[in-house]
Amino acid sequence: MLLYSKSWTEAPLAAEAPSSDLQLWTDLKQYEQIDAEVGKSVRYVLERHLRYLSDKTVGLAVFSERVTYEDKELLMSNLTKPPVERKVRSDPSLLKDGVCLGDFATS
């Protein structure tokens, strides 16, 4: 609950939602070191509900004050990248260590 409450309260803030979802996924991955079974199960459920990491909505993070300029530059440069396949939700195969918001952006 401690990890999820921040994301829950920030969900209505469209500009913060993409980075909040990605941070929650990262935090849950770290939580696997404490309780592997629970951490993996919760991440699996979260990966089916990452609407704000879809190629259509991740661009909202450009308006966030918490996203670094480097991440915004990568996000903007990837907005010219043609999508392989349109997805309403994020592509869970992109979720790996070191992933950033720009990795989800396409035109």
- Give the helix, strand, coil percentages of the chain, each rounded to 5: 55, 0, 45
pTM above 0.85, yes or no: no
3-state secondary structure at position 16 = coil
Per-residue model confidence (pLDDT) at position 97: 78
b or e along 39-70 (b: 16 or more beta carbons within 10 Å of the residue's beta carbon)?
beebbeebbeebebbbbbbbbbbbebeebeee
Amino acid, single-letter form, for residue 36: A
Give the residue, 38 or 92, on which the prediction is more confident.
38
Per-residue model confidence (pLDDT) at position 106: 79
What's the mean pLDDT in 91-98? 72
- pLDDT tens digits for 39-89? 888 888 887 777 777 777 888 888 999 899 999 998 888 888 777 665 555
Domains in the chain: boundaries: 2-104
- pLDDT tens digits for 7-47? 778 778 888 888 888 888 888 888 889 999 988 888 888 87
DSSP per-residue codes, 74-85: HHHHHTTSPPSS
